[in-house]
Every structure is written in C-alpha cells, then in structure tokens.
C-alpha cells in the first residue's frame, strides 16, 4: 500500500513536469497541444475511493493550471473525467470478465485501453478547449484543435504504456 502511494506520487510529479516542461512547449502551428498528464487519472487503481479520485484530479488540474496560468480550466476538465471514469469503465467492460484492478494496457488489452483512453481524452479536451475560449463563435476552429490535440494525446498516452508505465 505504502509502495503504491510512493509510486503514484512519483508518477504525479513526473507527469506534471513532462507536461509543463516538454509537452506545453511543443506547439505545432499553434493548434496542437497534447495533454499527457491525465494519464495519472486513467491509471489510478479501480478500487480507489471515488472521493480521492476526484480530489486528486482537482489537485492535479490545479497544479497544471498554476504552471500554465490558466487557473480553473484544467482543474474543471480533470475533475470531470475523474467523475465519469467509473461510468466509462463500466460501459466498455465485459461484465463476465475477471477484471484486473489496474486499468493498464497490459492488463486489459490494447483494444480496451484504446477505447478507454479515447473516450476520456476526447471528453477532457472538448471540455478544456471550449471552456478556454468560452465561446462557440469559432466552433469549427476549436473543434479542429480538440480533434488534433486528442489524436496526439491518445497517441502519446498509448505509447507511454509501451515505454515507461508498463508494470
């Protein structure tokens, strides 16, 4: 248990650093910004109490916000996906299957993890980008930003499963 906490703490800090120091600096044509940090929420064990998933999501989002001077935007988006996480998992999982407690790629298969990541990332990004511009005026421009960034985020998150967060 203690080991788990340390592991997740290290992951928390690492993901924030990768996000603000590397990914936020990657700015293709001013449109695309992948957000890897939500991987932390994706990979929390399934038996984590719901209140702590929500609170962790809030703290994670707020940390990203403070680094990128966007107070409230990332915390709102991250809390949203933390809230829908159990519903997403239930909707894409087979009931009879014996589920592992850790929602990783190895444990659940590529297909499952891709669905899981795609739904969470798209919900997160849609909410994030529309709250950021706070208007539907440039609806299609914003939508293209959402889709491009989502593609990138999904790619980076799935790739990360092969590289570091294997377990």
Partner 1 sequence: MRSLIRYLIKNYAFLLFLLLEIVSFILLFNFGRYQKVQYFNSANRITASVYRGFNSVVNYFELTKINRELADENALLKSQIQLKKNSEVASLSNVSRFFVGDTTYKYIPVRVINNSVNKVFNYITLDKGWKQGIKPDQGIVSPNGIVGVVISVSNSYSLGLSVLNQRWSVSVKLKKNGYFGSLSWRGNDYRIANLMEIPFHVELAHGDTVVTSGYSSIFPEGILVGTIQSFSKPQGENYYNIQVRLSTDFKALSFVDVIENMNKKEIKKLENVNQDGTTNN
Structure tokens at 107: 């444990």
CB-nearer residue toward partner 1: 2 or 30: 30
**Binds partner 1 (CB under 8 A): choice among 11, 18, 76, 88:** 76
34 binds partner 1 (CB under 8 A): no
Give kind and range of the element (H or E) at residue 97. Answer: none
For 99-138, b/e burial (b = at least 16 CB within 10 A) is eeeebebeebeeebbebbbbbbbbbbbbbbbbeeeeeeee
**Binds partner 1 (CB under 8 A): choice among 9, 10, 72, 107:** 72
Give kind and range of the element (H or E) at residue 93. Answer: none
Stretch that binds partner 1, among 26-34, 38-46, 99-107, 108-116 (CB under 8 A): 26-34
Cα 114 versus chain centre, distance: 13
Which residues are CB-contacts of 10 (< 8 A; sequence separation ≥ 6)? none
CB-nearer residue toward partner 1: 79 or 157: 79
**Binds partner 1 (CB under 8 A): choice among 66, 114, 147, 151:** 66
Stretch that binds partner 1, among 24-32, 36-44, 98-106, 159-167 (CB under 8 A): 24-32
Residues 22 and 104 sit within 8 Å (Cβ to Cβ)? no
Which residues are CB-contacts of 100 (< 8 A; sequence separation ≥ 6)? 107, 108
* Count of residues that bind partner 1 according to CB under 8 A: 36
Q: Which residues bind partner 1 (CB under 8 A)?
A: 17, 20-21, 24, 27, 30-33, 50-51, 54-55, 57-58, 61, 65-73, 75-76, 79-80, 82-83, 131-133, 138, 141
């Amino acid at each position: 248990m203690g080991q788990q906490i340390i592991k997740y703490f290290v992951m928390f800090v690492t993901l924030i650093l990768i996000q603000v120091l590397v990914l936020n600096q990657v700015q293709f044509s001013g449109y695309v910004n992948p957000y890897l940090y939500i991987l932390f929420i994706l990979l929390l064990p399934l038996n984590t109490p719901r209140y702590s998933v929500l609170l962790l999501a809030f703290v994670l989002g707020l940390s990203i916000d403070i680094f990128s001077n966007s107070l409230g935007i990332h915390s709102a988006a991250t809390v949203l996906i933390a809230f829908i996480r159990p519903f997403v998992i239930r909707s894409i999982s087979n009931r009879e299957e014996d589920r592992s407690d850790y929602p990783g790629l190895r444990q659940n298969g590529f297909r499952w993890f891709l669905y899981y990541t795609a739904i969470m990332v798209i919900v997160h990004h849609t909410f994030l980008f529309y709250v950021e511009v706070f208007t539907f005026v440039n609806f299609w421009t914003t939508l293209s930003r959402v889709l491009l960034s989502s593609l990138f985020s999904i790619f980076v998150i799935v790739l990360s499963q092969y590289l570091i967060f294997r377990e």
